[in-house]
Amino acid sequence: MAPTSPGTEDHPPIAADPSARGREALIVASPRSSALALPPMREAVGRDWFDANGAPDRRISSKHLVFTRPGGQLHLEDAGSRNGTWVNGARLRAGERVPLSDGAIVRAGSTLLVLRSGLVGPLAAAAPLGAMVGPFGLRRVAATFGALARHPPPNVLIEGETGSGKELAAAALHALLRPGRPYAPINLAGVAAGVFESQLFGHTAGAFSGASRDARGVLVAHDGGTVFLDELGELPLELQPKLLRLLENREVFAVGAERPRRVDVLLIGATNRELDAMVEAGTFRRDLLARFGGARVELPPLRERPEDLPALLAATLARKGVTFEPAHAEIEALERLMLHDWRSNARELSAVVERVAALDPPPSLRAWAVERVLGPAPSSRAGQLVREQVEAALAASGGNETEAARRLGVTRGKLRRFLSGGQ
């Protein structure tokens, strides 16, 4: 009998990436972190609906909001509410209907919401990831950490903007993968070229002038633990080959030694540079980047997770010894902070908190003080992606996603998530 053609059961469909799936949700950023499934379309919802979904607010009208989806695009309309509805800092007129994009910030009553088109995970807020606070905006980072814990890699690369928390992420990853083991952070931008090998790999007595005794070096001293190589993108091109032996087979060659020594260390690199672009430009070695290819963690900038801002603000003040409750702040003050673009991320947030506190001491947080520091609220939020703009940017950049993201003013990760239909 001639063999039959394989059927569907013989060739199951390729499994989808679970991290790319998600659901539409309204993230409650304040007064307390939670998430709500979208209400029924074309139905005016208000106080009762918010109460029933665990987000009570007496300032929300009985009929406040209406969600619709004309042409497949989600829209929001104010249903004639008493206290008004704001989208990205602009108040809607009664009956006005506006489109909502992923990341849109909505104010209704005393509640601040952020629309997410692809929320991954449960509706409940997540616990901190080590010292990193992100009730909803760090879900994908946490999922990546979970995957790395199941299959621990030898090398990990953490990528993110200045102040996005790379040091905290490295410490959290060390605690997850090698708890209780020694940990050493090394800033490669601060290591002079002349002492680079000696500091990392050690040296023997007499190896160079002033080397009166053997020195183990950071890697041998932390054998069994983790070494965090911060500012990896700042390592001069001529020094980059010296890391290859270490990354590939965990051998260190002390200066003046006759043979290498093996070490067991988890190596975590971090950078705020676009290493892929640096490879193409010839300023970073392709083979060095390839050693991190299997374990790259991208940290989202603060402006891409405004839903986390009130919780981050409370954590920032807690480190300064101040107890802060978002529910006690002026809603306009929190909204203004969420609308800011935070180019220096958590570092900028800490600096802004100090400047605001000098004007209006905590635990209060009032709009006049925040606007004195940040200026008036913008009428619309930058960084939201629209399909036509994305297509135009990709065409103008010849399909280069890194260049397209630069033109759009967003990170490469946000552009990729938009293209894949995720958060």
Q: How confident is the model at residue 260 (pLDDT cuts 50, 70, 90)?
A: confident
Residue 402: pLDDT over 90: no
Q: How confident is the model at residue 225 (pLDDT cuts 50, 70, 90)?
A: very high
Q: How confident is the model at residue 6 (pLDDT cuts 50, 70, 90)?
A: very low
289 or 252: whose pLDDT is higher?
289
Residue 169: pLDDT over 60: yes
Beta-carbon contacts of 151 under 8 Å, excluding residues fewer than 6 positions away, are: none
β-pair type (105-108, 23-30): unpaired
CATH number for region 18-119: 2.60.200.20
pLDDT tens, position by position, 299-346: 999 999 999 999 999 999 999 899 998 888 999 999 999 999 999 999
| C-alpha separations of 200 from 53, 181, 187, 239 in Å | 54, 18, 11, 12
pLDDT tens, position by position, 282-299: 999 999 999 998 899 999
Q: How far apart are CA 334 and CA 277, in angstroms?
A: 36
pLDDT tens, position by position, 101-151: 999 999 999 999 999 999 988 999 999 999 999 999 999 999 999 999 999
52 or 203: whose pLDDT is higher?
52
Residue 39: pLDDT over 50: yes
384 or 9: whose pLDDT is higher?
384
pLDDT tens, position by position, 96-115: 999 999 999 999 999 999 99
Q: How far apart are CA 312 and CA 302, in angstroms?
A: 10
Residue 174: pLDDT over 90: yes
Residue 190: pLDDT over 90: no
User: Domain extents for the chain?
Assistant: 18-119, 139-298, 387-419
> Any idea what DSSP says for residue 263?
-
Minimum mean pLDDT range among 70-79, 238-247, 262-271: 238-247
Minimum mean pLDDT range among 18-22, 207-211, 215-219, 267-271: 18-22
The mean per-residue pLDDT over the stretch 266-274 comes to: 96
The mean per-residue pLDDT over the stretch 242-266 comes to: 86
β-pair type (97-99, 266-271): unpaired
Topology alike, domains 18-119 and 139-298: no
Does the CA dihedral 165-351-29-162 come out positive or negative?
negative
Q: Which residues pair with 113 in a beta bridge?
A: 28, 106
The mean per-residue pLDDT over the stretch 168-175 comes to: 97
Q: How far apart are CA 171 and CA 79, in angstroms?
A: 48
Q: Which residues pair with 132 in a beta bridge?
A: 129
Residue 406: pLDDT over 80: no
**Which residue carries 């600096």 as its tokens?**
351
Does the CA dihedral 58-59-63-68 come out positive or negative?
negative
Residue among 331, 330, 338, 321 nearest 364 (CA): 330
Percent of the chain with pLDDT over 90: 68
- So what's the pLDDT on residue 9? 42
Q: Which CATH number fits domain 139-298: 3.30.360.10, 3.40.50.620, 3.30.70.1230, 3.40.50.300?
A: 3.40.50.300
Residue 98, SS3 per DSSP: strand
Mean pLDDT, the chain, whole residue set: 87
The secondary element (H helix, E strand) that includes residue 351 is helix 345-359
Residue 19: pLDDT over 50: no
- So what's the pLDDT on residue 184? 96
Q: How confident is the model at residue 195 (pLDDT cuts 50, 70, 90)?
A: confident
pTM of the model: 0.82
- So what's the pLDDT on residue 149? 96
